[in-house]
Structure 1
Amino acid sequence: MTELVGKVAIVTGGASGIGRGIAERFAAEGARVVIADVRDDLGEPLAAELNSRGAKTVYRHTDVGDQRQVAELVAAAVDTFGGLDVMVNNAGISSPLRKGLFHEDLEEFDRVMRVNLLGVMAGTRDAGRYMADHGGGSIINLGSIGGIQAGGGVSTYRASKAAIIHFTKCAAIELAHYEVRVNCLAPGNIPTPILASSATDEDRERLERFEARIRRQMRDDRPLKREGTAEDVAEAALYLATDRSRYITGTVLPVDGGTVAGKVIVRKPPPAEAAT
């Protein structure tokens, strides 16, 4: 549990869900972690809890949709812990659930793109500036299999995640000269609070039913039958954060139980005598 000893990491959206899982895993591996979020009610107790276990973490209120706050976040990490080695641009929100594209008013477009895409771009830029002058580092952007696979619903969210994937590859090419690696994780079928945030007021009472249906469909479409967890994504993030991935940049790694690989095909194994 010492893979990140001596490293400083920022995790945006680190107060809950996948971000929390990554922050906890990094702290357990010895990293000094800045947990950034807008949920002070979750972020501050998390930092206190991790510190009580011997970790070195701080919480900082940050709206990643505000470029100034992202720049201040990077500066605060450097001021507090003396550097920055790993930047995890995880913060994100979903677009509202609608009954279809014809019912979509795109009212939330600017907000979703500002948080999901601008936040990632600003975080990559500002972390990259510091890392370029200090020997390199690892930037990990959180996309989604919704940015790889087309599908109906939450179209603005899907578009923002697809843009993150393409931006990650572009940034990886540009920053490679400075030994700054930029990669993207694309989680799928991971139960997190983000789905609840996509419900409009009129959908609120139907959300539980809807979520159960979606989760069932995800299970049916997933080759691996085990349910994914935030800890699974955190393990992938840990790999990309360490020197084990020192020759990997510009990649998109789905963490989805095989979902984007293709539809499930169930075949009975042949009889033992036929196999021989």
Structure 2
Amino acid sequence: MSNELEGKVAVVTGGASGLGEGLARRFAAEGAKVLIGDIDRDAGAALAADIGVTAHFVEADVADMEQVSGLVSTAVKRFGGLHVMVNNAGISGAMHRRFLDDDLADFDRVMRTNVRAVMAGTRDAARHMRDHGGGSIINLTSIGGIQAGGGVMTYRASKAAVIQFTKSAAIELAHYEIRVNAIAPGNIRTAIVRKSASGEDLKKLEEFENKIREQMRNDRPLKREGTMEDVAEAALYFATDRSRYVTGTVLPVDGGTVAGKVIPRAPRP
């Protein structure tokens, strides 16, 4: 590690597990003080204890805008500032076999968590950064917000909204030297689908996931599996001065999936 974030303070929402955990650990390893926000009290507290004195956990549900604001204010109060805001928390929503079976009962919950929380986190972080020399805001979207496809329609719509919001915020906040970028992970194995389908039969869910991941592997140009570390590396780039002239971008971390499907090679004569 090269201490690229030495002296910086970062907030990571949804930071107790999955991609958020990877981000929190990498930022801390690079010298940042990290405030971890999550609804999972036990996992969040354990992670902060494992990282050490440079990390602090706050139990927070980002669906509540006041709790999002509390993460920003706590980071400033505890660590003396805020330089990097990562709006990572998200949920998948209910799984349905067909869109025609979707009652849209979870629409408001998904949008509050996946879209409104990102907007609130960006706004509240920017209010501090505006008066303190700027900063970097990183929003987690998904290749599901870039590529059209069947299934989890509300989730796809929410992630597409994050992309449009990120670009719009980047334009407005550039005046204050605040950079706003998005990362669109794809095919990274996390627990988000399992959490969204907790009522489903676990064996059937595993079979479904394995089938989908096999299809993803077949379509993906790079054949190795993506990892949380790959996403953390992209976030580190946006968090540091290496990206000081980069804003309003959406970076897929997906092994080339959104670039297009693999074209089968013709057999050699």
> TM-score by structure 1 length?
0.95
Distance 1:225 1:10 in 2: 32
Residue 82 of structure 2 corresponds to residue 84 of structure 1: yes
The question of whether the paired residues in 2 share the 8 Å contact of 1:74 and 1:127 is answered with: yes
In structure 1, what residue type is equivalent to 2:260?
Answer: G
Distance 1:161 1:256 in 2: 15
Residue 16 of structure 2 corresponds to residue 6 of structure 1: no
Structure 1 position 202, deviation (Å)? 4.2
Distance 2:201 2:168 in 1: 38
Distance 1:170 1:63 in 2: 25
- Which residue does the alignment assign to 2:47? 46
- The SS at the match of 1:191 is coil
Structure 1 position 201, deviation (Å)? 2.0
The question of whether the paired residues in 2 share the 8 Å contact of 1:97 and 1:200 is answered with: no
- Which residue does the alignment assign to 2:256? 258
**CA spacing shift, 1:14–1:227, aligned 2, 3 Å:** same
The question of whether the paired residues in 2 share the 8 Å contact of 1:44 and 1:59 is answered with: yes
- Which residue does the alignment assign to 2:23? 22
Distance 1:45 1:33 in 2: 14
- Which residue does the alignment assign to 1:175? 173
Structure 1 position 204, deviation (Å)? 4.3
* Larger of the two Rg values belongs to structure: 1
- Percent of paired sites with the same residue: 68
Structure 1 position 221, deviation (Å)? 1.1
- The SS at the match of 2:192 is coil
- The SS at the match of 2:24 is helix
CA deviation string 1:36-78 (max 9, x = no partner) = 1000111000000011xxx500000111111111111100000
- The SS at the match of 1:176 is helix
Residue 110 of structure 2 corresponds to residue 112 of structure 1: yes
- The SS at the match of 1:111 is helix
State which of 184, 195, 198 in structure 1 corresponds to 2:182. Answer: 184
- Which residue does the alignment assign to 2:122? 124
Residue 208 of structure 2 corresponds to residue 207 of structure 1: no
Number of residue equivalences? 268
In structure 2, what residue type is equivalent to 1:18?
Answer: L
Residue 136 of structure 2 corresponds to residue 138 of structure 1: yes
Distance 1:151 1:203 in 2: 24
Structure 1 position 266, deviation (Å)? 3.1
Residue 71 of structure 2 corresponds to residue 73 of structure 1: yes
Structure 1 position 198, deviation (Å)? 2.5
Superposed, which structure 2 residues align to 1:223-238 within 5 Å? 223-238=221-236
Q: State the Cα RMSD in Å.
A: 1.3
- The SS at the match of 1:196 is helix
CA deviation string 1:122-173 (max 9, x = no partner) = 0000000000010000000000000000000000000000000000000000
In structure 1, what residue type is equivalent to 2:82?
Answer: L
Structure 1 position 269, deviation (Å)? 8.5
Distance 1:193 1:202 in 2: 14
Residue 242 of structure 2 corresponds to residue 244 of structure 1: yes
Distance 1:202 1:260 in 2: 29
The question of whether the paired residues in 2 share the 8 Å contact of 1:96 and 1:200 is answered with: no
Distance 2:187 2:105 in 1: 26
CA deviation string 1:97-118 (max 9, x = no partner) = 1011110000000000000101
The question of whether the paired residues in 2 share the 8 Å contact of 1:128 and 1:175 is answered with: yes
Structure 2 regions of 5+ residues with no counterpart? none
Distance 2:6 2:126 in 1: 21
In structure 2, what residue type is equivalent to 1:77?
Answer: A
Distance 1:252 1:202 in 2: 33
- The SS at the match of 1:201 is coil
Distance 1:269 1:230 in 2: 35
In structure 2, what residue type is equivalent to 1:131?
Answer: M
Structure 1 position 193, deviation (Å)? 0.4
Superposed, which structure 2 residues align to 1:192-203 within 5 Å? 192-199=190-197, 201-203=199-201
In structure 1, what residue type is equivalent to 2:57?
Answer: Y
